[in-house]
Structure 1
Amino acid sequence: MTVQASLSGNGQELTIKVDGRFDFSAHQEFRDAYESLEAEPQSFVVDLGGTSYLDSSALGMLLLLRDHAGGDSADVRIVNCNQDVRKILTISNFEQLFAIQ
Structure 2
Amino acid sequence: MSINTHVDSNNKQVTISIEGAFGFSLVQDFRRCYVDRKDHSFTIDLRLVNYIDSAGLGMLLNMHNYLEQPDGMIKLINVLPQVRKILIISRFDKKFKIE
Question: Which amino acid is 2:73 matched to?
Answer: D
Identity of aligned residues (%): 35
Give yes or no for the alignment of 1:66 onto 2:59: no
Question: Which amino acid is 2:87 matched to?
Answer: L
Matched pairs, number = 99
Name stretches of at least 5 consecutive residues in structure 1 with no aligned partner: none
SS at match of 1:72: coil
Partners of 1:58 and 1:3 in 2: how far apart? Answer: 13
**8 Å contact from structure 1 (residues 49, 80) kept in 2:** yes
Partners of 2:72 and 2:23 in 1: how far apart? Answer: 23
Cα deviation 1:46-65 (Å, max 9, x = unaligned):
11011010000000000111
4+ aligned runs moved over 4 Å, structure 1: none
Question: Which amino acid is 2:96 matched to?
Answer: F
Q: Name the TM-score, length of structure 1 as normaliser.
A: 0.89
**Within 5 Å, which residues of 2 pair with 1:1-101?**
1-35=1-35, 37=36, 39-72=37-70, 75-101=73-99
**8 Å contact from structure 1 (residues 22, 51) kept in 2:** yes
Q: Name the TM-score, length of structure 2 as normaliser.
A: 0.90
**8 Å contact from structure 2 (residues 47, 77) kept in 1:** yes
CA RMSD of aligned residues (A): 1.6
